[in-house]
Structures are given as C-alpha cells and as structure tokens.
Structure 1
C-alpha cells in the first residue's frame, strides 16, 4: 500500500470514528441539521473535547456529501460557533500560561550565550548552531523588553528598526477591524540581558539581513522571516539539554517595559 492510499485509509477510519462518536447520543441522528451540529459542538466544548475540532467537522461534512445530503457544517451558524469556540479555547490556554519572568529570560539567554561564543568570531567562522543561538537570543530579548510576541519580532523588517549607539527604536503596526496604526517603542541600553547589544551582535554576525531582520536560515529557497515556532522549539530543546536549566518558554505577550 503506497503512502497516498495509506493516508486515505487513515482518513476513512478517523471519519468513521467521528461518526460513531457523534451517534453515541440517542438524541443525535444522521443526516443532521445545522442546529444539531451546533449542539454537538457546544457539548464538545463543555466537556473540554475541542481537540481536532476542524477534523471532526470535516468528517461530518464528508458523510453528508458522500451520502447525497446537504453539508450542515457549511452553515453560517456552525461556522460562527466554531470560530467562537476556537477563540475561547485560545483565551483559556493563554490564561493558563503565565508570561516568562525576568528570571526565565535571564536563564534562557544565559543558555543561548553558552552555545554562542562571539570572541574572535566572524560570520564566516561561526557554525550553524552558533548563528541560531545568536539570532534566537536577540529575538527573545527584543520580545521580552518591547512587549511583543516572538512572532511579531520574527516578522520585523530592517526598515522597522532604528539602532544607534545607545538605544533601539522599533516601529510596529497595530491592525484591528476598523483601522491601522503605527506605534514606535524606544529602549536604551541595559546593564544586563540587553536587547540593544544582542541585536548589534546578531547584525554583526548575520551577513547583513536585507529585508527581514531575522530571515530564514534553513530553507533559503523560501523568502521570508523565520517562524516563531522554530524559535520556540530550538529554545525548548536547549533548555531540556542543559543540566540545571529550568525556565518558562511560553510565548511573550507581556513585558516589564510597560509596567
């Protein structure tokens, strides 16, 4: 059995499992009306069973399509409820994960510093992992002190950043449903875990980024910034591999800079 056939078989078995779970309640039948699917979604949310919600809806929609019935998951009420559940689930997850403290950030940057030894190094002599540690250290410190998420920092372009001898200014966009605005934040050099010096070291050892401040390093055929997911994965691996190191590596949406 080739890979395509194997994946199709897995999808079929998963869909069958979803349908069996849907029909466990005696009040539910197939074909289903949109309001019945909404009740099913509400029950899943109440029980905390919101994992793979999109796949469950696809399985229900697939059953209706294959059996010649209208797909209730495409109804506006089902779509709106799904979006609401995802938003509430994300809020719950964020509420359970406190932001990193200054002690966490110091631990993380100390570990990254161990893997990056700038003394006498040049962009040509640095190893791949040294460049990753140098880059991620700058991303982490900028995110913490400027109150940005790591994904915001990863998407920064060179034109968004102004670096002089003693300070760093970052201009970012804030977009909501009605408008778009720009905000500038300025931070002077700090005595410890300083984002200004960390960015200076990165720029010195990164062969001069042209567009994005933190471009991709592994898949150079794809133009764009490094993903925040890869930054977090790298930091978590280093923390786990370093004896005695323990730190909160959750995403950063809060900053001491604003308090």
Structure 2
C-alpha cells in the first residue's frame, strides 16, 4: 500500500470501512448483485430487503454502494430518482421506531462492580492470575466506559501512552479521532477520581497488575494470565459487556449493547440535574438531537422544560 493509499484509508474510521465491506459483500454474494450496479438493480435490492432490514441499515448499504462506485470511477446509481423514490416508499410502508440500547443504571453498575471485586479477591486467593487480570480489566473497562460515556470503538482504541491518570485526582484520555470529530483534530476526555466506583483507581489497578506501560489499554487475557499485544476488537466489546453484566447478576444482560454505558451515563447525568449543554460538552455530542436520543423522556430536565412552558402559558391566560 502506498503512502497516499494509507492516508486515504485513514480518512475513514475503521468501523465504517468494515461495515462498508460487509455491505458490498451482502450486495454481491447474498443478493448476487453485479457491480457496477444500475439504478434499477439498487432499487430492486432495497425492495428485496425492505421488510427485514431497518431503514438505517438500508441507508448504510446505499452509502457503501455510493462510495464503491465513486472510488471506482463509475456513476453513482444510488442518487437516481427510482432509488430515492423506493427508499421513501419503504419508509412510508415500513415505519419503525428507532431501537436504542438499554441504559446501564447506576445501581446496576454498582452491583456488577461489587461482583467483580469479589471475583478479583477470590482469584487472588486461588492464585488464578488469568481470572484476576480479566476481572481487573473488565472493572476498568466498565467504570471508564460509564463515567466517560465512551463508545465501543473508543474503548478499543485507547492507548496507555495517551492516558494520564493520578490517584485521587483524575484521568485524561486522548483519542486522535472520534465519531463527532470529523476533522480528526483529536479530543481529550477527562474524568475525576471518585470516592467509590472510581474509574481512575480501576484503570491504575489494571495497568499495574498487567504490567503494561504502552500499547492498547484493553486487551485479551488468556486463561494463564498472558496479556495480548493487540486491542480488543470493536465487535468483541458488546459481547464482553453482556458477559460482564450477566456474570454480575443482571438477568437481562442480553438486552445491553456497546452503547449501554454511554446511554446509562447520559440518563444518570440528566437525572441529577445536568443541563443539555453541559451533557453535550462532557460526552462530546455536536448537536442536541444526538444527545436527546440517549436520554429517556422522563429525565428531569425535560420535565422542567415542559413545566416552565406550562407556567408561562398559564401566566399569559
């Protein structure tokens, strides 16, 4: 791969490249479509999967097809009127409420962390280094992911050399790119040290016990306690989270996803008086619509806003 190709590839997030490759493979292999595609074939492809795939998934498939044609120098068939009309019709005939991740509540977080602490103590008593390290890693991933509202891909990409942590003070994590950072300017995320459920102590315990000083923060640990060199794959974060929560006693662990930590923090913050602007700045959302998708409608700041509107209307009558 040339240097130019490397830079061009780096302009697109790895998760996006993976999803686009999967979309092209689905079009060619599963549906047996031919590339370059015609507008008619793309419209028929949409119609074929309109009843089984979500609108958001169909749009992602169109984006992948559009990118493939543009990169190969072919006209983009996804912008043709027949494709746009087909998508509008599918949206009208197959309306669907957007699915959201189940938020991890603070009480649930506390319960699971207590279970992890017990597992760590038991592993140390049994001299089971593999179990000890895995539980320390899981505790750190859970607490840092919750208190910073990190996405799965962000957790997988955090590197030790980009983290500054000091017990009793706080932790800062630098990420060169995030979903909201379209210009790849880099963002530093900070979290304070806490009296309990502390992400700083959990991180320091994991790093020290694993004897790591560089490279990815969250890695695979085998049964003998050997720590891998590469980061946990982005697609493994959600299954790992469900395993952690299930082992921690949550009966509905299968309902959680990689966004559950982010949504859980957003709901906790909103329920404890954070206004939307403060929440957006802390988590890193660029627009209010993104923030409100993560917060339950019952959150106090929504209630307060409605109540203020009612008060103004009542006074005007």
TM-score, normalized by length of structure 1? 0.61
CA distance in 2, matches of 1:165, 1:242: 26
State the secondary structure of the residue aligned to 2:186: strand
CA distance in 1, matches of 2:122, 2:205: 8
Q: Is the 8 A contact 2:242 2:257 kept in 1?
A: no
Q: Report the count of equivalent residues.
A: 207
Correspondence 1:251 to 2:268:
no
Match of 2:143 in 1: 141
Match of 1:43 in 2: 47
Correspondence 1:185 to 2:192:
no
Q: Is the 8 A contact 1:107 1:246 kept in 2?
A: no
Match of 2:177 in 1: 174
Q: Is the 8 A contact 1:139 1:153 kept in 2?
A: yes
Match of 2:76 in 1: 76
Q: CA deviation at 1:241?
A: 5.0
Q: Please list the CA deviations of residues 152-187 of structure 1 after superposition, one character each: whole Å capped at 9, or x if unmatched.
A: 122111121101132111122335796221222222
CA distance in 2, matches of 1:202, 1:182: 25
Q: CA deviation at 1:93?
A: 9.2
Correspondence 1:226 to 2:232:
yes
Correspondence 1:130 to 2:107:
no
Q: CA deviation at 1:244?
A: 6.1
Q: Which moved more, 1:140-149 or 1:184-193?
A: 184-193
What RMSD over aligned residues (CA atoms) do the two structures have, in Å?
A: 4.4
Query: Is the alpha carbon distance of 1:120 and 1:42 closer, same or farther for their aligned partners in structure 2, counting shifts above 3 Å?
Result: closer
Match of 2:104 in 1: 100
State the secondary structure of the residue aligned to 1:117: helix
Q: CA deviation at 1:118?
A: 7.8
CA distance in 1, matches of 2:187, 2:98: 24
CA distance in 1, matches of 2:97, 2:257: 11
CA distance in 1, matches of 2:161, 2:248: 36
Q: Structure 2: any 5+ residue segments left out of the alignment?
A: 1-28, 59-73, 270-277, 280-317
- The higher radius of gyration belongs to 1
Q: CA deviation at 1:79?
A: 10
Q: CA deviation at 1:142?
A: 0.7
Q: Please list the CA deviations of residues 59-92 of structure 1 after superposition, one character each: whole Å capped at 9, or x if unmatched.
A: xxxxxxxxxxxxxxx87325997xxx9xx9xxx8
Q: Is the 8 A contact 2:219 2:228 kept in 1?
A: no
TM-score, normalized by length of structure 2? 0.51
Match of 1:117 in 2: 121
CA distance in 2, matches of 1:228, 1:107: 25
Query: Is the alpha carbon distance of 1:75 and 1:114 closer, same or farther for their aligned partners in structure 2, counting shifts above 3 Å?
Result: farther
State the secondary structure of the residue aligned to 2:141: helix
Q: CA deviation at 1:98?
A: 3.8
Q: CA deviation at 1:198?
A: 0.8
